[in-house]
Structure 1
């Protein structure tokens, strides 16, 4: 699949393996990588950026 899909959030829930694209500022991406590194140390295993984003969103929703 070479073309980007335009899916609404409900469609993404039905198809979690669809390609997602996000844009970050330079500082925002650096912050994501820093949080990702901290989570990897905490979990003692490597994780992907998308997993880090999911974990950040889940931790914010429980506050």
Structure 2
């Protein structure tokens, strides 16, 4: 099985498609936490999920 496997680079395409059910969100979380050095996410459209991730990656400046 794939339980516990990690990768130097993890690529998850079209993350906006994996947010409908709890099981989808759990799988997305597991995939994201498997990245050791680089995580690449792509999306086909802006959603609440992609906006939240963008805020984490590029927080608003205090200056």
Q: Same fold (TM over 0.5)?
A: no
Say which one has the larger Rg.
1
Q: RCO higher in 1 or 2 (8 Å CA, sep ≥ 6)?
A: 2
Name whichever structure is richer in helix by fraction.
1
TM-score normalised by L of structure 1: 0.26
